[in-house]
């Protein structure tokens, strides 16, 4: 069974990677891989009910991510159809490509530390579309956004799902995490930015005035600002909602979406038929549903490997074979570019109790950094990457050829800084 599962996963992964040569949409490949893997798993298990319970358990976690993604994309689309991002784009005066690369990277890095990396990626790629007209150039900016969002998310307890897991599990405290991981995270972004900067020369051409549904956007300056600040403020409120209520983040973002829905209904209630162009149903029509279904399929596929015990067996094999914890964690970070970092983190937390590595031990610090940033090395290695892949139609092979090397340099630069920092202090 295990060989068949691995073979099916590899074939599905290859079809996703070779989407354009084989001319099969990656969403179809991901959905087929997810469903076929679970079908194989249940066929080889005597207790069907146990498999069904595992499926429901994993589907609950996956659904939480999918609903969060859908709500976040809807909120960003709602701000977009009100032309709310002009609040930011009007303040970015530079047309210099190199300067803009650093501006976008820096904003993404710090925004990701207070939002999560997935939401930040959606917001920043939408913003980049307002600033850069050339799609081929914008692909590099979108790739930098992925690297910056993953790097910025790992030095705070709310910026990445894996750091949140380690924070809630008691392995890390927020103060120590922010102190010890900030510098490695900075280098994880700065290294690829420094290497990519010489590739950009001259100035970019800003996009033309947007046209929506056949007519020019017609929202007042007040409406632009209101929706921008309410939308971004609502996204920032999500982690606060989680801390206050102890409910999962998708509940918070659904609450924010409901509030914005009511707000836009009242804001445009006197506009007759044009009202329908500026409310949540209009925003939902702009959401890229194939990207959400791709996310569902790939997470279902990875969940099948976790449910079958393959990921846990692999983790134990690494522990027995390699032995050195630092090398194991760095290798897990590289592996997180292929396999979701959440089950990898969960498996590692189960293997090493707090009695072995106490709270705020460097083992947990390095784990948080590696599994959080290692996913940048492949476009489908992180939630941020999958979102960018859908929003900008980034090809798997293009990212691997053009960006993976630079992302890997950033990843290992951060590891080096962490080890150096540990030895010095």
3-state secondary structure 164-175: HHHHHCCCCCHH
Residues 6+ apart with CB under 8 A from 86: 130, 224
Query: Lowest-confidence range among 120-129, 184-193, 234-243, 255-264?
Result: 234-243
Question: Residue 140 gets which letter from DSSP?
Answer: H
Residue-level length of the chain:
425
- 139-153, 241-255, 286-300, 340-354, range with the lowest pLDDT: 340-354
Measured from the Cβ of residue 186, the count of other Cβ atoms closer than 10 Å reads 17
Residue 205 Ramachandran class (φ > 0 left, ψ -120 to 50 alpha, else beta): beta
pTM assigned to the model: 0.75
Residue showing tokens 């399929």: 297
Report the alpha-carbon distance of residue 348 to residue 312 in Å, rounded. 8
**What pLDDT is stored for residue 187 in this prediction?**
95
Residue 211's pLDDT is what?
Answer: 45
Query: pLDDT tens across 150-186, in order?
Result: 999 899 877 787 887 788 677 888 788 889 999 999 9
> Which tokens belong to 236?
């920032």
Query: 50: part of which helix (H) or strand (E)?
Result: helix 48-81
Category of 206 on φ-ψ map: left (φ > 0), alpha (ψ -120 to 50) or beta: beta
Q: Distance of alpha carbon 395 from its chain centroid, rounded?
A: 16
Our measurement of the distance from residue 262's CA atom to the centroid of its chain's CA atoms, rounded to an integer in Å, reads: 28
Least confident of 84-93, 203-212, 349-358: 203-212
Give percent above pLDDT 70 in the chain: 95
Report whether pLDDT(214) > 50: no
- How is residue 88 written in tokens? 């930011």
| End-to-end Cα spacing for the chain | 48
Residue 217: its pLDDT value, please?
52
> Is a pLDDT exceeding 60 seen at residue 212?
no
Phi, psi of 205 (to 5 degrees): -100, 115
Are the C-beta atoms of 128 and 142 separated by less than 8 Å? yes
Confidence (pLDDT) at 289: 84
Is the pLDDT assigned to residue 136 strictly greater than 60? yes
DSSP string, 167-218: HHTTS--HHHHHHHHHHHHHHHHHHHHHHHGGG--SBPPPPPPPEETTEE--
Q: Is the pLDDT of residue 20 over 80?
A: no
Round to whole Å and give the CA distance between 70 and 289: 8
pLDDT (0 to 100) of residue 213: 43
CA angle 408, 409, 412 (to 5 degrees): 85
d(CA 141, CA 118) in angstroms, rounded, equals 16
Phi first, then psi: give them for residue 95, nearest 5 degrees: -110, 0
Distance between CA 407 and CA 193 in Å, rounded?
9
Q: State which of 151-165, 256-270, 338-352 shows the largest mean pLDDT.
A: 256-270
pLDDT, position 343: 63
Q: What tens digit of pLDDT does each residue of 62-86 get?
A: 888 788 878 888 988 888 888 887 8
Q: How many CB atoms lie within 10 A of CB 50?
A: 12
Mean of all residue pLDDT scores within the chain: 84
340 vs 121: which has the higher pLDDT:
121
394 neighbors 381 (Cβ within 8 angstroms): no
């Amino acid at each position: 069974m295990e060989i068949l599962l691995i073979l099916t996963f590899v074939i599905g992964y290859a079809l996703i990677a070779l989407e354009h040569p084989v001319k099969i949409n990656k969403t179809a490949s991901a959905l087929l891989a997810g469903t076929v893997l679970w079908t194989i798993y249940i066929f080889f298990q005597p207790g069907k009910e146990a498999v069904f319970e595992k499926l429901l358990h994993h589907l609950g976690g996956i659904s939480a991510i999918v609903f969060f993604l859908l709500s976040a994309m809807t909120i960003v689309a709602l701000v977009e159809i009100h032309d709310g991002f002009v609040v930011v784009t009007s303040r970015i005066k530079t047309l210099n490509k190199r300067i803009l690369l650093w501006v976008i990277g820096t904003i993404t890095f710090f925004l990701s530390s207070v939002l999560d990396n997935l939401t930040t990626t959606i917001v920043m790629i939408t913003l980049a579309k307002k600033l850069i007209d050339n799609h081929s150039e914008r692909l590099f900016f979108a790739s930098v956004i992925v690297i910056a969002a993953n790097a910025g998310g790992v030095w705070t307890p709310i910026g990445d799902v894996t750091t949140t897991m380690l924070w809630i599990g008691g392995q890390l405290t927020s103060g120590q995490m922010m102190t010890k991981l900030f510098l490695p995270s900075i280098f994880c972004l700065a290294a690829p930015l420094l290497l990519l900067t010489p590739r950009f020369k001259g100035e970019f051409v800003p996009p033309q005035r947007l046209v929506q549904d056949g007519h020019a956007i017609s929202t007042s300056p007040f409406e632009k600002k209101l929706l921008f600040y309410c939308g971004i403020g609502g996204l920032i409120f999500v982690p606060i909602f989680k801390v206050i209520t102890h409910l999962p983040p998708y509940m918070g973002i659904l609450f924010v979406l409901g509030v914005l829905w009511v707000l836009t209904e009242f804001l445009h209630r006197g506009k007759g038929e044009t009202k329908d162009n500026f409310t949540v149903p209009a925003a939902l029509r702009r959401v890229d549903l194939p990207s959400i279904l791709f996310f569902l399929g790939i997470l279902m596929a990875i969940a099948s490997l976790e449910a079958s015990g393959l990921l846990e067996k692999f983790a134990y094999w690494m522990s027995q074979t390699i032995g050195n914890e630092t090398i194991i964690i760095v290798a897990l970070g590289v592996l997180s570019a292929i396999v979701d970092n959440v089950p990898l983190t969960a498996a590692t937390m189960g293997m090493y109790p707090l009695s072995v590595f106490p709270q705020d031990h460097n083992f947990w610090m390095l784990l948080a950094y590696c599994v959080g940033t290692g996913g940048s090395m492949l476009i489908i290695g992180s939630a941020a990457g999958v979102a960018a892949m859908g929003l900008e139609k980034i090809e798997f092979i293009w990212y691997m050829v053009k960006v993976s090397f630079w992302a890997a340099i950033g990843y290992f630069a951060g590891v080096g800084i962490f080890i150096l920092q540990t030895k010095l202090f």
